Amino acid sequence: MSETKVQNLLLEKKKSKRNLIEIFMGSIVKPMFGDNLATIGTNIGGLLFLIETLRRYFPRQLTITIQEILVSIFQRLPFFKKCSEKTLAFFSPYAQIRFSEIEEYRYNYAYSAIKTYLGAQVNSQVKNLKASQMKGRKSLDVKRDDDKVEDEYEGVKIWWEVLKLGSDVNVCKLTFHRSNWEIVTGSYLKYVVEEGKSIEERKKRIKLHMNNPSANWEMLTINLWSNIDFEHPATFETMAMDPKKKEEIINDLLAFRDGEEYYKKIGKAWKRGYLLHGPPGTGKSTMIAAMANLMSYSIFDLELTSIGNNWELKRLLLGTSSKSIIVIEDIDCSLDLTGERGVKDESSAEKKKEKKKNAVTLSGLLNFIDGLWSACGQERILVFTTNHLGKLDQALIRRGRMDMHIELSYCRFEAFKILAKNYLNLDSHILFGKIECLLEEMNMTPADVAENLMVKDGESDVDGTLKGLIRALEQMKLNQNSNEQQKDVNQV
């Protein structure tokens, strides 16, 4: 058969189908509803016919793409705007499920598990891949880099698409034939999420999250936190402090980590608060790093001064994940510690109101820790640090809120021995006796001791380094004595 003949035949076929629709619209719809409705009816009829034809003769993915194009065209027409999507969805044999990255202001962990699962669908047929190597890793991490992934589960075909809606809403969209509803919603999705989570667990790196200034937040709760890999080397082993106290803290942390059942049994939210207090340079921040490394928990470092009010604080706390340590450093400096109770000198009521509305208050923080957040945030550790325990409001530090108070203090001999082991690989030395006496007398911080134990010029030997520390301690003693003498003179 010649090519023109085939084309003519196809044209005839098309005409006859179009004629059928036109006869139906002209003889039934038009007489009943008039010209306008008849035109609309013709369009719908044509559209449905088109979809059915596409479904029969084209592969599924193409059908869906064409359907989407048709929807977008028809949505531009005022009448169809409302009903085109519903009409198409009604007639389409496929169902779709969307997983947004953020759902009701909270991070959707199913989304990240699905993304991880899709990234892991690597085989020799895959054409687009991406590879990266993280610091400290020997192997390359190779992931699939396709926006569209076709999957198969128990003989059922499933199509995934990774999309960005608007400027910042990330979505994974799943399409499947409605006849497979049971399998997909029953076991496939569970399988995907669990598989994604176990891959994440295997590859897990501890993250340090920092809150972005609220002025930079975008509408949909993304961008509240930025994160980087956390690579602080501190461990409890290298922490210079009283060994008994150290053991107590480690046991407390491990009991918390393994305590899911216990917390359920006693009906308490699975969270624990630690208050670290002590002078600057005694190891408060170092201990937070050691905690994160011991527990393999990520850190959320909450900078209260960059947010405006209690509502923003709530959003930030709701955006934290489980298995995390939420840190507020120098709580005495970053919070209006008097809360609403302290507003005494404001002259005008207006000012008071404004202050309440715009401040992150102690009561806001406490209400949230005790209330809503306890109900929805599990397996979280809260750490506050301060240099001035005395300045803190009693409400903040009462037991039950801050379960354990940890004092980090000046470097005594037990702590020094740990630093000497870390920095000089020394267990004992003839100069240790003298250092012990001086450390009992003088209040030198572990940070200062550590600084003196660092070999700076690359040539100093162990003796030279320890003598350097002794000199520093003696100098400190001299300064202290002369200060005291000066004070006495001033008093006289």
Ligand X SMILES: Nc1ncnc2c1ncn2[C@@H]1O[C@H](COP(=O)(O)OP(=O)(O)OP(=O)(O)O)[C@@H](O)[C@H]1O
Other CB atoms closer than 10 Å to residue 324's CB: what's the count? Answer: 21
Residue number, 273 or 283, with CB nearest to ligand X: 283
Separation CA 448–CA 451 (nearest Å):
5
* Residue 281 beta carbon to Mg ion: minimum distance, rounded to whole angstroms: 8
Provide the 10 A C-beta neighbour count for residue 303: 15
Report the alpha-carbon distance of residue 117 to residue 390 in Å, rounded: 50
- The bridge status of strand 324-328 relative to strand 380-386 is parallel
For residue 352, the number of C-alpha atoms closer than 13 Å in the C-beta half-sphere is 11
Residue among 121, 232, 94, 96 at smallest CA distance from 173: 96
User: What is the rounded distance in angstroms from the CA atom of residue 235 to the CA atom of residue 221?
Assistant: 34
Q: Which is nearer to ligand X, 86 or 244 (CB)?
A: 244
**Residue among 42, 84, 282, 293 that touches ligand X (CB under 6 A):** 282
Assigned token pair, 252: 């407390």
- Contacts of residue 137, defined as CB under 8 A and 6 or more positions apart, other chains included, come to none
Task: Confirm or reject binding of residue 447 to ligand X (CB under 6 A).
Answer: yes
In the bound complex, what is the minimum distance in angstroms from residue 167's beta carbon to ligand X?
38
280 binds ligand X (CB under 6 A): yes
Residue 240 interaction partner, one of Mg ion, ligand X, none, beta carbon < 5-8 Å per kind? ligand X
Member of 118, 239, 295, 453 binding ligand X (CB under 6 A): 239
| Dist CA 473 CA 475 (whole Å) | 5
143 vs 284, which CB is nearer to ligand X? 284
Q: Binding of Mg ion at residue 386 (CB under 5 A)? A: no
Residue 446 contact, options ligand X, Mg ion, none, Cβ 5-8 Å cut-off depending on partner type? ligand X
Asked if 298 interacts with ligand X (CB under 6 A), we say: no
How far is residue 420's CA from residue 488's CA, in Å, rounded to a whole number? Answer: 37
Among ligand X, Mg ion, none, the one that 447 touches (CB under a kind-dependent 5 to 8 A) is ligand X
Amino acid sitting at position 126: V
Which pair of structure tokens corresponds to residue 54?
């596409």
* Distance (Å) of CA 259 to CA 36, 218, 269, 270, 272: 69, 37, 11, 8, 11
In a 13 Å sphere around the CA of 396, the CA atoms on its Cβ side amount to 26
Tell whether residue 469 is a contact of ligand X (CB under 6 A): no
Residue 42 CA, distance from chain mean position: 51
Candidates 40-48, 137-145, 307-315, 443-451; binding stretch for ligand X (CB under 6 A): 443-451
Binding residue (CB under 6 A) for ligand X from 41, 119, 281, 377:
281
Q: What is the DSSP string of 197-232?
A: HHHHHHH---EEEEEPPGGG--TTSTTSEEEEE---
Q: Is 284 in the site for ligand X (CB under 6 A)?
A: yes
Minimum CB–partner distance for residue 232 and ligand X (Å): 9
Q: Is 240 in the site for ligand X (CB under 6 A)?
A: yes
Q: Is 320 in the site for ligand X (CB under 6 A)?
A: no
Nearest to ligand X of 51, 288 (CB atom): 288
Residue 207, binding choice from Mg ion, ligand X, none, Cβ under 5 to 8 Å by partner class: none
- Count residues near ligand X (CB under 6 A): 16
Residue 241 binding: pick among ligand X, Mg ion, none (C-beta 5-8 Å cut-off by kind)? ligand X
Instruction: Quote the least distance from Cβ 414 to ligand X, whole Å.
Output: 11
Place of tokens 């409400």: 395
Q: How far apart are CA 159 and CA 85, in angstroms?
A: 20
Q: Minimum distance between the CB of residue 291 and Mg ion, rounded to whole angstroms?
A: 13
Contact between 320 and Mg ion per CB under 5 A:
no
How far apart CA 275 and CA 131 sit, in angstroms, is: 42
**Choice between 41 and 446, CB closer to ligand X:** 446
Partner touching 63 among Mg ion, ligand X, none, CB below 5 to 8 Å by kind: none
327 binds ligand X (CB under 6 A): no
Asked whether position 445 contacts Mg ion by CB under 5 A, the answer is no
Q: Which does 286 bind (CB under 5 to 8 A by kind): Mg ion, ligand X, none?
A: ligand X
- Work out whether 334 is an interface residue with Mg ion (CB under 5 A): no
Restricted to residues 372-411, the positions that interact with ligand X (CB under 6 A) are 387, 408
Per CB under 5 A, the list member of 42, 112, 116, 285 interacting with Mg ion is: 285
Residues near 75 by beta carbon (within 8 Å), at least 6 away in sequence: 81, 84, 85
Task: Considering only residues 179 through 238, tell me which ones interact with ligand X, judged by CB under 6 A.
Answer: 238
What is the binding site for Mg ion (CB under 5 A)? Answer: 284-285
What is the binding site for ligand X (CB under 6 A)? Answer: 238-241, 280-286, 387, 408, 446-447, 450
